[in-house]
Structures are given as C-alpha cells and as structure tokens.
C-alpha cells in the first residue's frame, strides 16, 4: 500500500504521462513504494532518480536503455512482458503529442520538479559507443565490429551454444533444438549454393567459422572465410585446425573491400550485410560480381526492415550500444540493387522471420540461465545490453516490425544459362551430403 508522500505517490503523474491512465506494469521506486498491478509477469524497479532523469531528457528507447545498462533501472520477471509496455507508451503518444495533453504534461513536470529530477542527466554509460571518422570507412567499420564482436569468445559461447553461430537458425521441423537448427541453416545455404566437391567458396563475414567448416567437411569445397574481428579470426582459425581442415579452409583477418584478383564459384554472406551501409550497397554487390565466376551463385542472408521512409542514422538503443553504424534495408531495395549490377540475377527470396524470433528466444534463455557467468565474462553493463537487445529483437520479429531474408542470386554465363534446376524442390535436393542426412552438431564444435 502506498504511503502518503512516498516516492511512488509523487511519481504517479509522471508514470501516467509515460504509460497512460492505466498502469500496464508494476513499478517499484527506490524507497520501496509501488505503483500499478501487483500480479503481473514483470516489474520495473527504479533504483535511482538518475533513471528518471535519463528518461525525461531522452523519453525513448535510448533513455530507457541508458538507465537499464547503468543498473539504475531493473527489469524483474519476464523481460518480454516488460518490453511489451513499449506498445502502450507508443499508443499513448499517438493519441496526443504530449501523451495526456497539456494538463498531463504540466502535472508530469510538477512531479519531476517535486522529486528534484529536473536538470542535466548523468553521463551516458561507458558501454555506449561513439565512433569518429567517415561512416563506413575501413577504420571506422573495424572499430564498430570490434565493439560488438570482440567482447569475449567465452561469453558468446555461453549465449550461442557450441555451434558459435551468431545468425538466424533454420528450424526445419517442429521440436528442433537450437544447435541442430543452426546446422540445418548452414546445410540449407550449401544446397541453395549448389556446392560440390572441389568448388571454391567465399564466406564474407565468417564469424567463428561455422559456415566454412560445414561446407568444407560435408560438401568437400575449398573455403575462404573473412572477418575483421580479431577474436573471431583467432578462434575460427583454431577450430579449422582442430577439425583437420587446414588444407582446404582458410580464415583471414580481412575486410571485403580488400579482396583483389580472386574468383569463387559460390559466395555466402550470413549476418554481415547489416554492417555494409546503404551508401555502399552498390559497391558491395559490384565486388561480389567481380569475385563470382560466371554460373556462380551468391546467397545474402541479412536482417531487413519494413518498407517506407528510413532514418539510417537515427540514434537508437541498437546503434548506441549494440551495432554502431548498423543499417537495415528493405528487401525490395536489396533485390533491385543486386539486379542493377546487371550481372546478378535474383532467383529466390525466402523470409525466415519466425525462425529468427525463435533463435533469439533460445539465446535469451541461454543468457538468463547463465547470468552470473555472463556478467563475470563481459561485465554487468554488457550482459544487460545483450539481454535487452535480444529480447526486444525477438518481439520485433514476432510482431513483423523486423524481417530477415535469404536472397539467392546467380551470375549467368554468357549464354544466359543460370545452371539452376527448374524447381526449388529440385535444387534444394541437389548435391546433398554423402550421408543423406543433416550432420550432427557435435562435428561442428
């Protein structure tokens, strides 16, 4: 029960400004007083007035993210239920630019002043990234990638599981676990690319080497994987050596723009495309054409956004803490830009939206189940970032706010022959591994 003069009681006008007249979630203030429903699946705990100062000066996901990463705001219980209040807040703001109108805004300001919240917010948490130099230059991209991927290989193993695969899995049948679904994803891509023994495969943004390991072992290709993350390069190289595949698999610390005078019969790019940037899309696909032999196939697996006006340089939680300079593209523009290269013919587009939502929920479960160890490996701020962004991303995919597509293209030979079987069913069956079944995940570790 609220005490008269408690922080919660004084916060009520401010909370109604953010959430509306009906509080969708319980809020616990730093003095122990509470607001809102007590039987919900989640609770917001405001540990410090600093959290509210951040929200008042940045009343959006950036302010919320800063408070959570700094530990000034806690999410107890079901994080998905807590994050769903975002829709409530958005609906309130759509009703009126000031949430509850001028009167509500004045009450909120009075509440903030009463609690001495008006003033400059605290400095951003140290985990918030700031990059200098030209956007998507070699040096700036290297810093952006290092910020995200060079956290801790042990931390990523905790979250991703033994496959060390940081991209959308493919749940080929009901009840499939995460590790098998990641192997199924690699196998799906190998079949779409039509891989056969002796072919040369380039994997752009190879991560910890999962794709090249799978393709070399089960399809007999000669594989080259490139990454600009030092820690990914080091671990992927060790995995290749441990698998005994060093004679036909190479891992390079190299930016895709540094590739010269090489040719491949197949090229894959899995979960790297988000780092390219719209201004460099044409350059990116032009490079693919120059590296791809006539008759070769290219598969681009990347997160995409809704159609409509985009604000690629807008400051968001993701660009501030997770993927600095990351940009998402609408799938139609991706296809159009590919085909504008004239030597790439798009042959297949497949959405895996529901698969990524499921993948992210597995990752969140892994993180929460090993929370103490994750904090020890990465620090509390980084662990909080990953929990928040992965849970929010799962909800975005489930709600259709974000998508992911595999786009398969071919560079036809001079006679216009793509080399593709006539039906999708036929080319998915073509060139299956000698085992005839999906390989076990233990072989990838």
Fold category of 7-114 in CATH: Nonspecific Lipid-transfer Protein; Chain A (3.30.1050)
Asked if residues 29 and 7 have their Cβ atoms less than 8 Å apart, the reply is yes
Asked if residues 155 and 208 have their Cβ atoms less than 8 Å apart, the reply is no
Rounded Cα distance, 382 and 127, in Å: 7
pLDDT of 14:
76
Residue with tokens 């909800």: 395
Rounded Cα distance, 43 and 27, in Å: 6
Two tokens at 246? Answer: 């060093």
Alpha carbons within 13 A on the beta-carbon side of 183: 20
pLDDT of 440:
42
Domain locations in the chain? 7-114, 138-444
Whole-prediction pTM: 0.90
Residues 6+ apart with CB under 8 A from 340: 282, 285
Dihedral of CA 255/327/351/87: which sign?
A: positive
pLDDT of 96:
46
Radius of gyration of the chain (CA): 24
| Residues of the chain falling short of pLDDT 50 | 1-3, 94-100, 434-445
Residue 250 phi, psi dihedral angles, 5° rounding: -125, 135
| CATH 3.40.50.10490 given to domain 138-444 | no
Beta bridge partners of 203: 225, 268
Alpha carbons within 13 A on the beta-carbon side of 223: 31
pLDDT digits (tens, 9 = 90+) for 326-380: 889 999 999 999 998 778 999 999 999 999 999 999 999 999 999 999 999 999 9
Find the angle CA(359)-CA(364)-CA(366) to the nearest 5 degrees: 95
pLDDT of 430:
56
Rounded Cα distance, 267 and 258, in Å: 16
Q: Examine domains 7-114 and 138-444 and report if their fold is the same.
A: no
Asked if residues 288 and 193 have their Cβ atoms less than 8 Å apart, the reply is no
DSSP state of 82: H
DSSP-based three-state secondary structure for 383: helix
Two tokens at 18? Answer: 């953010």
Alpha carbons within 13 A on the beta-carbon side of 37: 11
Rounded Cα distance, 280 and 124, in Å: 30
Rounded Cα distance, 226 and 256, in Å: 7
Strands 264-270 and 292-305: parallel
Rounded Cα distance, 87 and 80, in Å: 12
pLDDT of 444:
37
Rounded Cα distance, 388 and 361, in Å: 12
DSSP state of 443: G
For residue 311, give Cα distances in angstroms to 135, 305, 338, 403.
15, 11, 22, 17
Beta bridge partners of 404: 303
Two tokens at 375? Answer: 């904090």
């Amino acid at each position: 029960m609220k005490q008269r003069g408690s922080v919660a009681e004084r916060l009520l006008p401010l909370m109604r400004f953010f959430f509306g007249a009906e509080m969708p979630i319980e809020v616990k203030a730093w003095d122990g007083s509470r607001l809102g429903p007590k039987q919900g699946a989640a609770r917001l705990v405001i540990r410090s007035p600093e959290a509210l100062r951040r929200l008042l000066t940045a009343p959006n996901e950036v302010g919320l993210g800063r408070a959570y990463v700094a530990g000034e705001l806690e999410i107890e219980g079901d994080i998905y239920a807590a994050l769903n209040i975002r829709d409530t807040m958005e609906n309130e703001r759509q009703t009126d630019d000031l949430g509850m109108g001028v009167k509500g805004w004045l009450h909120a300001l009075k509440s903030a002043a009463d609690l001495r919240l008006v003033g400059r917010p605290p400095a951003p948490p140290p985990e918030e990234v700031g990059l200098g130099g030209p956007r998507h230059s070699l040096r700036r991209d290297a810093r952006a990638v290092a910020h995200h991927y060079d956290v801790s290989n042990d931390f990523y193993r905790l979250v991703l599981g033994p496959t060390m695969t940081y991209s959308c899995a493919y749940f080929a049948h009901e009840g499939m676990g995460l590790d098998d679904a990641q192997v199924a994803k690699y196998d799906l891509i190998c079949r779409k690319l039509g891989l056969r023994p002796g072919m040369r495969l380039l994997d752009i943004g190879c991560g910890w080497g999962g794709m090249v390991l799978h393709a070399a072992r089960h399809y007999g290709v000669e594989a080259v994987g490139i990454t600009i993350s030092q820690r990914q390069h080091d671990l992927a190289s060790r995995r290749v050596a441990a698998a005994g595949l060093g004679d036909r698999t190479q891992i390079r610390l190299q930016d895709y723009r540094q590739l010269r005078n090489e040719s491949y019969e197949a090229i894959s790019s899995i979960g790297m495309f988000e780092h390219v940037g719209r201004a460099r899309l044409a350059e990116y696909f032009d490079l693919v054409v120059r590296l791809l032999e006539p008759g070769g196939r290219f598969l681009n697996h990347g997160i995409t956004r809704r159609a409509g006006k985009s604000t690629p340089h807008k400051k968001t939680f993701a660009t501030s803490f997770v993927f600095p300079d990351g940009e998402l593209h609408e799938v139609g523009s991706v296809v159009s830009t590919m085909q504008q290269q004239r030597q790439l013919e798009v042959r297949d587009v497949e959405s895996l939206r529901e698969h990524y939502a499921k993948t992210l929920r597995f990752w969140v479960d892994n993180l929460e189940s090993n929370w103490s160890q994750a904090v020890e490996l990465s620090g509390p701020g980084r662990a909080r970032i990953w929990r928040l962004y992965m849970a929010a991303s799962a909800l975005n995919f489930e709600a259709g706010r974000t998508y992911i597509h595999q786009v398969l293209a071919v560079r036809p030979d001079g006679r216009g022959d793509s080399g593709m079987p006539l039906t999708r069913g036929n080319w998915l069956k073509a060139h299956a591994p000698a085992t005839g079944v999906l390989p076990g995940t233990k072989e990838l570790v």
